[in-house]
Structure 1
Amino acid sequence: MTPPRQVLLLVHTGRAEAVPLAERMAARLARAGVTVLALAEEAAGLRLEDARTVQAADAAHHGAQLVIVLGGDGTILRAAELAREPRIPVLGVNLGRVGFLAEAEREDIDHVADRVLEGSYDVEERMTLDVEVSRDGRVLAREWALNDISVEKADRALLVELAVEVDGRPLSVWGCDGVVAATPTGSTAYSFSAGGPVVWPEVEALLLTPISAHALFDRPLVTAPTSTLAVELLAVSGGSSPHGAVLWADGRRSHDLEPGTRVEVRRGECPVLLARLRAAPFTDRLVAKFRLPVQGWRGAQAGDGS
């Protein structure tokens, strides 16, 4: 890759260790002649003498060729909101607990700076979801997500009745807490917590996972990437919420839903670009992030015919 001339630095300022790391990164890039941009809303919590502040709404229009994120997956998802449409790669340095979307850990900060200045990173596309919310044939909202879209009860005392449809054909009606539609990237997030499968990022597919469904058939589904998934809110019972259900996009943006609302999910037209420093197998990432036990594994032995 050509080394970037301008970099947007996005920081989780609520994490104490993020501030000195951001200062270190900004100073390192600036000394090498790279223009560092920082969001005005974060400037108060940072001391970046080498950065130029920009408004979040205009950040994508200031010519950044890379977004470097210091934070957890939530901060990376926030960066994706800014970087998706202008197709700017996002490089995450994990300051959270798991950090599946991140490419490096906090102790790698100097190595990350070196690789950025060398342009020594690859960029891969990650599938997204496009969502349309409608009622009585009228479109109420449009959304998108990198990880997942969930339709879930708005109050813990509620039970929602959802009709699920795949490619225009009815599949089942679930009395449940909700459903999660996810990309392979999001298979290790909310969908995983709800019992869905882990899907390798190279696989192109849509996932649909029920949340605590009161049904004999309540298994997670993996469909073609060309499929259209639809969820209709039929009824809500119990609780006191005026809406009954809520749609969440990546756990960040929400829309209240009333009975009769239809949510359609398709493969997104605009992917998110993630910068990668190394071509490590996803299996290794899975083992590292979930701290899976692999003691005793010997692998294929030379000459054993494997």
Structure 2
Amino acid sequence: MTGLRVVLLVVHTGRPEALPLAERVVARLTGEGVSVLALAEEAGSGQLQGTTPVSAEQVCYQCPELIVVLGGDGTILRAAELARDTDVPVLGVNLGRVGFLAEAEPADIDSVADRILEQSYDVEERMTLGVEITLPDGSTRQEWAVNDISVEKADRALMLDLAVEVDGRPLSVWGCDGVVCATPTGSTAYNFSAGGPIVWPEVEALLLTPLSAHALFNRPLVTAPTSTLAIELLKGHATSHERCGILWADGRRSHDLPPGARIEVRRGDRPVRLARLRAAPFTDRLVAKFRLPVQGWRGPSSGGS
């Protein structure tokens, strides 16, 4: 392969194990002629020696072939924001507690570096969410998410009154703490904590899970990937000038929601691309990440009566 190879390194520098691991990756890659970029705020003060500092805005102009992440799922979601305009795959090394989006553990770091040098990985596309927020004055805002968007109450002392719609038809009105709309990738995140179903990543679907809804019908929903989910904030206890809710995208980006705001959630127009080092079944990942008990399982029958 000709030409200079470039990799972007995104590091959760607040974790004590991150910097020694980063040093090993940088030394291995640069020793083989690969240029390693790092975000300026992370490479400052000499923390990531051997890297070239860049701003978030400069990433797309540097044309990295891969974004390597040392951190938890939150750091991987931050890297996904950088990758969004470039379609660059993201490879995560888990330094968090669960790390569903990560592909490797710290003990694998030398193997990870070797696989990057060999370009020996597959790329998996995961669907995202596209979100349009319409405010009472008619103005709109656009948002997106890899895992989920949540509409939550701004005042813990009050409930949100929400009207929920699927594909242009009313479904129900809930007095609740909010709702979560998730992708299958995000089904193991906030959606799972809220009591929603775990959905295999290969399944294309949109999920909607109410948060503490005071209603007889308050079950999680799994809809078609072509569906449009809509949430309207009714006035309830708030006046037209108050912020009654807040929208969070992947728990990272927020928008204030006044009464009368409408949120429409659809399949995103651009997937996120995750680099995979091995073709492990999702069941095995689920068992490992949640430490599920499987003792006593004897496997499929080998045949015979």
Indicate the TM-score class for this superposition, using the shorter chain for normalisation: over 0.9
Report if the CA contact (8 A) 1:13-1:46 is conserved: no
Q: Superposition pairs for residues 121-140 of structure 1, below 5 Å?
A: 121-136=121-136, 138-140=138-140
Instruction: State the one-letter code of the partner of 2:220.
Output: P
Task: Give the Cα separation in 2 of the matches to 1:273 and 1:260.
Answer: 35
SS of the residue 1:237 aligns to: coil
> What is the aligned partner in structure 2 of residue 101 from structure 1?
101
SS of the residue 2:58 aligns to: helix
Report if the CA contact (8 A) 1:11-1:18 is conserved: yes
> What is the aligned partner in structure 2 of residue 77 from structure 1?
77
Task: Describe the superposition over 1:123-151 as per-residue Cα deviations: whole angstroms up to 9, x where unpaired.
Answer: 01110000000034723311000000100
> What is the aligned partner in structure 1 of residue 202 from structure 2?
202
SS of the residue 1:293 aligns to: coil
Report if the CA contact (8 A) 1:39-1:53 is conserved: yes
Shift of 1:49: 2.7
Task: Give the Cα separation in 1 of the matches to 2:46 and 2:247.
Answer: 33
> What is the aligned partner in structure 2 of residue 224 from structure 1?
224
Q: Identity across aligned pairs (percent)?
A: 72
Task: Describe the superposition over 1:61-112 as per-residue Cα deviations: whole angstroms up to 9, x where unpaired.
Answer: 2110100000000000000000022100000000000000000011110010
Count of residue correspondences: 304
Report if the CA contact (8 A) 2:19-2:48 is conserved: no
Q: Which piece of structure 1 moves more, 134-143 or 115-124?
A: 134-143
Q: Which runs of 5+ in 2 are unaligned?
A: none
> What is the aligned partner in structure 2 of residue 175 from structure 1?
175
Report if the CA contact (8 A) 2:242-2:259 is conserved: no
Report if the CA contact (8 A) 1:236-1:244 is conserved: no
Confirm whether residue 251 of structure 1 aligns to residue 251 of structure 2: yes
SS of the residue 2:48 aligns to: coil
Confirm whether residue 33 of structure 1 aligns to residue 33 of structure 2: yes
TM-score (norm 1): 0.96
Report the CA distance shift for 1:224/1:43 in structure 2 as closer, same or farther (over 3 A).
same
Report if the CA contact (8 A) 2:4-2:34 is conserved: yes
Runs of 4+ deviating beyond 4 Å = 1-4
Over the aligned positions, Cα root-mean-square deviation in angstroms equals: 1.9
Report if the CA contact (8 A) 1:152-1:247 is conserved: yes
Task: Describe the superposition over 1:233-269 as per-residue Cα deviations: whole angstroms up to 9, x where unpaired.
Answer: 003438xx94110000000000000000000000000
Task: Give the Cα separation in 1 of the matches to 2:56 and 2:46.
Answer: 16
> What is the aligned partner in structure 1 of residue 144 from structure 2?
144
> What is the aligned partner in structure 2 of residue 165 from structure 1?
165
Shift of 1:301: 2.6
Report if the CA contact (8 A) 2:77-2:250 is conserved: yes
SS of the residue 1:210 aligns to: strand
SS of the residue 2:266 aligns to: strand
Instruction: State the one-letter code of the partner of 1:6.
Output: V
Q: Which runs of 5+ in 1 are unaligned?
A: none
> What is the aligned partner in structure 2 of residue 294 from structure 1?
294
SS of the residue 1:138 aligns to: coil
